[in-house]
Structure 1
Amino acid sequence: MAQDSDLQDVSANDVNELFGAFRKELDARYDLHEKVVKISRDVTIESKRLIFLLHRIDFTAEKLENSLQQAKEKHLFILEKLKKVAVLLKDVDTFQFVRAFSAGLQEFIEATAFMFFIEKCNEVNCENICSIILSMHQVTDFLSFSDETDSSKTVRLEFPVEEYLLGIADVTGEMMRLCINSSASSLGQKDLSKSLSFKLTAYVQALHNAFSIFVHIVDVSQGLRKHFDEKLRTMTANVKKCEDVCYTLRLRGHEMPHDILKATLMEATEK
């Protein structure tokens, strides 16, 4: 009987120690998750500020370079925050924490794609507009950082392709707004196909066409599938608004006085 009692005490102690280890592991995991969420919130806020900055850019040659320099500095500041996430997750399975930094990552991809377009749009035309669409490979390069403890190693923030697709899909909304806001500057331009509004429309069309293919072949959960379908509907609406602007500029630009045409384009913005 005494021996059985000793065995029960040992067994109880082992169980307590085991569950104590589980508790510590779960607490550490929860703390790590909270740290990543907080940084992701900062990334989301700063990425939105970068987008607002890009919308205020003056596209005249003498002011564009200075504005882009400010945007690049803001972009580097955001990358420093994402580097903190990569360092925090370098010794764990990053994909277990994707939902913790998903919102920030998608906003970063959106802002980066928007900045990349504004930086390169004067170098392309409507025919080769696809060359300045931000690729997943480029995003991966941005999110690869040198390890401060060992300069020969690289710390990467890994993420699934779904995060890239959802982030790049959001940029069509910013493109649509810029297309409408910049349409007035296209009035009187001899070759409208070289105007900013037409390039933006070609960009949005190319993204929409690609996304409408990928949305049906990417293997995702049912919940994420609904999210993809919602993004596709939003993209379709953005394409239509951009095309309406180009239609108004192309077919009615010579029929209507510029003041009335501007008012018509502003009406399209509010719809």
Structure 2
Amino acid sequence: MVRQDRSDRRSGGHKRGKGRDDHHYHHGGQKTSKTTKPPVNENSPVIAVFRTFQTELDSVHDKYERLVKLSRDVTIDSKRVIFLLHRISNDEKKQSVLEEADSKIANVKQRLCQITQELQGEDPYRYLRAISPGVQEFIEALLFYHYIKNNKLLGHKELEQQLSFEVTKESEGSKVNQARDAGMKQQKGSDVKKPEEDTSEETATETKTEAENESSTEPKSCVTGGGDEAPPETLKIDMHIPPNEYMLGMADFTGELMRMCINSVGSGDRETPFQLVSFMREIYDGFQLLGNTPNREVVRKLYTMRQSLKKVENTCYTLHVRGSEIPEHMLLDAIASVEKGERGFAGDDGGEE
């Protein structure tokens, strides 16, 4: 009887007779709905407002994706500049490598010009996460290039001065954006009103968008100066670099200085490591003045900077104390053994077993 009463409670809706639940459940317990979905009134002002929201959100998402792609290209080209600068082994090769790096940096600036065009009239921090990796990598490459060429650090204001561009008022980028927005609106309107007749128009819109995307990747509308004749009706635009992005790029730059120190030892140059260690100490002391920063990325890169500085100091210590007794072809092995010994000492809690 107890089991029967419990089973009756579980299926209580069926025992009590007709109720409101009878409209939503069959005998098998599957949920159904007898009412059909009412048609949407496209002329309603509420629907019109939400259509506007949809268009604005799609435009924001499309711009974010375009910026991510441009930032990825900037990152790749900037890494190539860094790899190229590490090939400098002597003064004879230095000039040719710097000239090649200069041309590559000019190509990266064209990409940054396109990013600046996309950000015109926008909050500079709204799309910062989309362009931050590329901006930091470019800052790292440009600081490294400037240090090798001029033996000093490029300041934040000097960096922003190099990111000033001249573009035509009706540039390729603005035409692409206008055509893309118009095509998107036309496609959405045809999807709502004429679902059976928009196959050819949708295909043409997609083909046009693909062609415009290919043309938008080509830096045709950016003019960085240097020509004899300036294009008519040019507009000057500046790219804003947040101070935090400059600091993060500078922190990455110290890692390239550490690699430069190791490479110089391998090529037989014993003076460069002592110049680099004093320069890196000045940068590290400047970061120490910031105190406790709430930015997690700054803390992480500050720790990496400390490790890079320690490697350079160990290199200078080995060169100064044991450099005269170690052959040049064995210096890198001696430096590696010192670093390995320090890591082992830091990992031991109670000495050797």
Distance 1:262 1:98, change over 3 A: closer
**Which residue of structure 2 lines up, in the alignment, with residue 102 of structure 1?**
132
2:70 aligns with one of 29, 36, 39: 39
2:243 aligns with one of 161, 176, 199: 161
Give 1:117 shift: 0.9
Larger radius of gyration: 2
Q: Distance in 2 between matches of 1:54 and 1:215?
A: 33
- 5+ residue gaps in structure 2? 1-39, 170-231, 344-353
Q: Distance in 2 between matches of 1:180 and 1:267?
A: 14
Contact 1:186/1:197 (8 A) holds in 2: no
Alignment of 1:229-248 (within 5 A): 229-248=299-318
Q: Distance in 2 between matches of 1:67 and 1:175?
A: 17
The answer to whether structure 1 residue 133 and structure 2 residue 163 are counterparts is no
**3-state SS of 1:90 partner:** coil
Q: Distance in 2 between matches of 1:104 and 1:216?
A: 26
Q: Distance in 2 between matches of 1:145 and 1:269?
A: 46
**Which residue of structure 1 lines up, in the alignment, with residue 192 of structure 2?**
none
Distance 1:215 1:186, change over 3 A: farther
Give 1:90 shift: 0.9
Q: Distance in 2 between matches of 1:184 and 1:117?
A: 20
1:71 aligns with one of 91, 101, 104: 101
Q: Aligned letter for 1:104? A: G
Give 1:260 shift: 3.5
TM-score scaled by structure 1? 0.81
**3-state SS of 1:85 partner:** helix
**Which residue of structure 1 lines up, in the alignment, with residue 45 of structure 2?**
14
Give 1:51 shift: 0.6
The answer to whether structure 1 residue 26 and structure 2 residue 46 are counterparts is no
Distance 1:182 1:135, change over 3 A: same
Q: Aligned letter for 1:83? A: C
- 5+ residue gaps in structure 1? 1-8, 122-131, 190-194
Structure ranking higher in helix proportion? 1
Contact 1:180/1:265 (8 A) holds in 2: no
**3-state SS of 1:182 partner:** helix
Contact 1:183/1:265 (8 A) holds in 2: no
Q: Distance in 2 between matches of 1:213 and 1:22?
A: 46
Contact 1:44/1:103 (8 A) holds in 2: yes
**3-state SS of 1:96 partner:** coil
Give 1:267 shift: 4.3
Q: Aligned letter for 1:247? A: Y
Could you tell me the percent identity over the aligned residues? Answer: 36
1:92 aligns with one of 100, 114, 122: 122
Contact 2:68/2:131 (8 A) holds in 1: yes
Q: Distance in 1 between matches of 2:310 and 2:233?
A: 49
Q: Distance in 2 between matches of 1:269 and 1:47?
A: 30
**Which residue of structure 2 lines up, in the alignment, with residue 201 of structure 1?**
277
Q: Distance in 1 between matches of 2:69 and 2:82?
A: 20
**3-state SS of 2:165 partner:** strand
Contact 2:280/2:309 (8 A) holds in 1: yes
Q: Distance in 1 between matches of 2:245 and 2:65?
A: 20
**Count of aligned residue pairs for this structure pair:** 240
**Which residue of structure 2 lines up, in the alignment, with residue 211 of structure 1?**
287
TM-score scaled by structure 2? 0.63
**3-state SS of 2:126 partner:** helix
**Which residue of structure 2 lines up, in the alignment, with residue 53 of structure 1?**
84
**Which residue of structure 2 lines up, in the alignment, with residue 124 of structure 1?**
none
What is the aligned-residue RMSD (CA, Å)?
Answer: 2.3
The answer to whether structure 1 residue 146 and structure 2 residue 166 are counterparts is yes
The answer to whether structure 1 residue 113 and structure 2 residue 183 are counterparts is no
